[in-house]
Amino acid sequence: MPKSRETARETQDTFGFLIHDVARLLRKNFNRRVQSLGMTQEQCRVILHLSRNEGVQQVELAELLEIKPITLARLLDKLRESALIERRRNPDDRGRFAST
């Protein structure tokens, strides 16, 4: 077997490669399942984190999700338009969200 094929085969057999591939397949399956709900994986992640951190500030939520605040703002707007989350007014902080 040529050396390049041998190296590729060794790479595919490594534990890290297998973990990464399983994670990819899990994400693909999850995306397929939530697509029927009209949602994305990112939207589900937002709702999950909101349910665990109700009242969290938008900046903190972006950090938890490891995404940029502007990306989160767009996701929150879409979820709010779909009535999946609501903004709860707080006189001290206008940036708090909660799941419904």
pLDDT along the chain (100 residues), means of 10: 61 83 94 89 93 90 95 95 85 61
Position 61 scores a pLDDT of 95
CA angle 93, 60, 79 (to 5 degrees): 80
Supply the pTM of this predicted model. 0.67
Q: Where are the domains of the chain?
A: 1-36, 40-100
Q: What are phi and psi of 53, to 5 degrees?
A: -135, 50
pLDDT of the residue at 12: 64
pLDDT the model gives residue 94: 58
> How many whole angstroms separate alpha carbon 67 and alpha carbon 59?
10
Tokens 């590729």 sit on residue: 8
Q: What is the CATH number of domain 40-100?
A: 1.10.10.10
pLDDT of residue 97: 60
